[in-house]
Amino acid sequence: MDTGPAAKEGVAGPVAVQAGRGAANPASILLDGLRGARPALVLVFGAKGDELAPLGDALKAGLPGDCIIAGCSSAGEIGPSGYASDSIVAIGFPTASFRASAHLLRDLGALPVSDWMAGLRRMHRAFAPDPGRALFGLLLVDGLAGQEDALVATLEASLPSVPVLGGSAGDGLDFRRTTLLARGHTLSDAAIFLLVETDLAISEVTFAHFSPTETRAVVTAAIPEKRRILELNAEPAADEYARLTGIARDRLTPTEFARRPLLLRTGRRHHVRAISEVTEDGGLSLMSAIDTGTVLTLGRAEDMTQGFLQALSALPRPPLMVLGFDCILRRLALERAGLAAVMSDLFTRFRVAGFNTYGEQHSGMHVNQTFVGLAFMDHGAPGDSHAA
- Tens of pLDDT, residues 99-157: 999 999 999 999 999 999 999 999 999 988 788 899 999 999 999 999 999 999 999 99
Are 287 and 276 a contacting pair, CB within 8 Å? yes
List Cβ neighbours of 234 (8 Å cut-off, separation of 6 or more): 220
What is the model's pLDDT at position 7?
A: 42
Q: Evaluate whether 89 touches 61 at the Cβ level (below 8 Å).
A: no
| Predicted model pTM | 0.87
The residues near 24 (Cβ < 8 Å, ≥ 6 apart) are: none
Amino acid at site 369: Q
Between vectors from CA 302 to CA 299 and to CA 304, what angle results, nearest 5°? 120
Position 359: which residue type? G
Concatenating the DSSP letter of every residue in 130-173 gives -TTSEEEEEEEE-TTS--HHHHHHHHHHH-TTS-EEEEE--BTB
Facing residues of 266 across strands? 269
Task: Give the pLDDT confidence score for residue 117 in this predicted structure.
Answer: 96
Q: What is the SS3 assignment for 121?
A: helix
Mean pLDDT score of the chain, rounded to an integer? 91
* pLDDT for the residue numbered 381: 52
Phi, psi of 311 (to 5 degrees): -65, -40
- pLDDT of amino acid 132: 85
Give how far Cα 139 sits from Cα of 81, 125, 154, 214, 365, Å. Answer: 24, 18, 12, 35, 12
360, amino acid identity: E
**Across-strand partners of 194?**
102, 138
pLDDT at site 10: 46
Answer whether residue 194 shows pLDDT above 60.
yes
What percent of the chain has pLDDT above 90?
Answer: 73
The domain segmentation of the chain, as residue ranges, is 2-206+305-377, 210-301
- With vertex at residue 63, the alpha carbon angle to CA 60 and CA 69, rounded to the nearest 5 degrees, is 45
Amino acid at 301: A
Residue 78's Cα: distance from chain center in Å? 11
More confident residue, 187 or 10: 187
Position 300 pLDDT exceeds 70: yes
Among 12-16, 227-231, 347-351, where is mean pLDDT lowest?
12-16
Instruction: Name which of 320, 304, 302, 322 is nearest 312 in CA terms.
Output: 322
Position with higher pLDDT, 296 vs 336: 296
The pLDDT tens digits for 64-114 are 999 999 999 999 999 999 999 999 999 999 999 999 999 999 999 999 999
The neighbouring-strand residues paired with 321 are 376
What is the reported pLDDT for 267? 75
What letter does residue 67 receive in the DSSP assignment? -
From CA 190, how far away is CA 142, in angstroms rounded? 6
Distance of CA 215 to the CA centre of its chain: 29
